[in-house]
Amino acid sequence: MSLAECTIIDLPKIVDSRGNLTFIEANEHVPFEIKRVYYLYDVPGGAVRGGHAHRELKQFIIAAMGSFDVILDDGFERKRYHLNRSYYGLYIPRMVWRELDNFSSGSVSLCLVSELFDENDYIRDYERFKRIANKQALEDGRQSSDQNIVGQ
């Protein structure tokens, strides 16, 4: 998959003097059926989370509280997103490497995903990920050589 498919998605925001409300509906506000929800919290200063890609899983990440950065890599380029509001999130399709860092104190990363947990869906070795991404890109006609692979 390409980083062009990764996008910030605005969520509905109902403003009320008693407190704002944002909601998310599967296949309406995120482009997949939500099968699992998890969140990261109490992340120590300087820690990095993620460090993997998924073969099939699609993900939507929201900064429910505080802020953090998401670094995405499709094997050809890298892009950093800063998430700091609870009324938008970052959509990440399958086969995109992700890392989360720069967590503010008290931040909460809310993750909505398209699949139940399956260890076999994870690619945890970056060099292996690049090889798989390059092979898929060649099959798709997106890249004729590995010259532009990040880190080579």
List the catalytic residues: 52
Structure tokens at 124: 């945890």
DSSP, collapsed to helix, strand or coil, labels residue 138 as helix
**Rounded Cα distance, 105 and 97, in Å:** 25
Cβ–Cβ under 8 Å, residues 9 and 83: no
**Can you give 4-50 as a three-state secondary structure string?**
HHCEEEECCEECCCCCCEECCCECCCECCCCCEEEEEECCCCCCCEE
Q: What share of the chain is helix, strand, coil (3-state, %, to 5)?
A: 15, 40, 45
DSSP, collapsed to helix, strand or coil, labels residue 127 as helix
* Longest pairwise C-alpha distance within the chain: 56
DSSP, collapsed to helix, strand or coil, labels residue 59 as strand
